[in-house]
Amino acid sequence: MASVDLDPLLLLRQSISDGSAIIPTTSADTSSSGPPPEASLSQATHLQFTNPTRVSIPIDTPTRFVSNDEPVNLRSIYFAWLNREVAIPEYNASATKLNDELTGTAAVHKFAFVERLDLITWLESASEESEFIKPLAGEKDGAVPGAAGAAKATSKAAVVSASARAGRGTLDPRLAQIYDGERRMGDRNTVLRGIKPTDFSHVRKLAQPFMSRKPSPTATALINNPSLALNPKPARRPDPIILLSPSASSLLRMSNVKSFLEGGRYSPPDHNSAVSMLHVSRTMKEIDPTRPMRFILVEGPEQFKPEYWNRVVAVFTTGQTWQFKNYRWSNPAELFKHTLGIYLGWRGEQAPDAIRAFGHRVMPCSIEKWRDPTAPGAETSRWRDREVVEGIWKAIEGNMRAKGWRKDAAPSSI
């Protein structure tokens, strides 16, 4: 099997998609017919996959996921997946405990919250790209050397044949005859150069005199205006961030904000929910009418990097100033100069004095009081929720346009 097919990240993603078993074990042996004894992550030396073929990968193998310019090992990736629904403080505590149990130089990497969300989204096949995952060699430059290039270029039937030989022993002679009659397709490397690697390093010396000369007017124009280049690669737009209030008195928490902002219907929050972050999708027609934008929702900035603050587009607040203690701008008056504030309260009740003191920079919104759905007429008042939600999104979109959000870019500062 080609090295591309044994990529740990692709094996893990495929196993999650298929629901096949992923077993931490202390042995690399895959010859037994039954599953191996499962070991704890602190004792395991290999991670055994069962689909599309049984294979064991060393658990400390570096992957293509890069954090702070360092590849993250397979143990850390699998540990993050197992703890995907755990809150950030509990996840960090579990990682610290596992590091204490590990001996030697092995250690579990602690992901930042955006890295963790991006990884989980990619593993769940909800996204086909990730800013933290390096592309495979074949995807990056089309050059998969040697046998790996030939394996990527073979037909689907050849791959089935290889897996059949590995999994069921001798291949059916009639099926082998059919495979031998198929035409093998090649990529540009095998067609133009064959599978023998070619060294072009000498070309650099020949090109050096030309590269040191003054660039032509055309080259200068392309440097000054990259949009003139042929097929420019579009920049990846970062996801905007919405901060929620962690106060127990807040009407919107992580447990009910998704149904409110996406479905336009309010329901009481579940105060026992352990979700620490999630995302909602919304099409901002005045910014990008062709594709929906994904918004990241969190209750606190504990895992923020400095540049994440440029992506904050709204802050939900109850007026309690302790919410802003760990913010970049802890003074509410200064905070709401940089981003939109939103207060959600009950219709017919006056907003707190603190909200009124914040002035026009905080948008007050009111919804109908929650009533028991079994009570007569309880459902008739909930149709107003969507009207409130549309007003909130309109305000967020207007604030984003004013701060410099565009179809393919985010503001460098707010």
Cβ–Cβ under 8 Å, residues 95 and 73: no
Predicted pLDDT of residue 233: 57
> Count of CB atoms within 10 A of residue 36's CB?
18
Place of tokens 């870019």: 409
Domains of the chain, CATH where assigned: 8-134 (no CATH), 141-192 (no CATH), 241-403 (3.40.50.11990)
Cβ–Cβ under 8 Å, residues 95 and 108: yes
**Taking each helix axis from N to C terminus, what angle separates 113-123 and 74-82, rounded to the nearest 10 degrees?**
90
Positive or negative torsion for Cα 354, 358, 360, 366: negative
How far CA 316 is from CA of 197, 230, 327, 342, 343, in Å, comes to 58, 43, 13, 5, 6
* Alpha carbons 206 and 209: distance in angstroms, whole number: 7
Predicted pLDDT of residue 400: 94
CA dihedral 72, 76, 77, 81 (to 10 degrees): -160
Q: What is the pLDDT tens value at each position of the chain, 414 positions in all?
A: 445 567 889 989 988 888 888 889 988 887 776 777 888 888 888 888 887 778 889 989 999 999 888 999 999 999 999 998 888 888 888 988 988 888 766 788 999 888 888 899 889 888 788 888 988 876 654 333 333 333 343 334 344 444 444 344 455 677 777 777 776 666 655 555 555 566 667 777 788 777 765 555 655 655 566 555 555 555 678 899 999 999 999 999 999 999 999 989 999 998 787 788 898 999 999 999 988 999 999 998 988 988 999 999 999 999 999 999 999 999 999 999 999 999 999 999 999 999 988 888 899 999 998 887 777 766 677 888 999 999 999 999 999 999 999 988 888 888
Predicted pLDDT of residue 5: 60
- The upper half-sphere exposure of residue 290, i.e. CA atoms within 13 Å in the direction of its Cβ, equals 3
Continuous segment of H or E residues that includes residue 208: helix 202-211
Question: For the chain, what is the largest distance between any 2 Cα atoms, rounded to a whole number of angstroms?
Answer: 85
Q: What are phi and psi of 179, to 5 degrees?
A: -65, -40
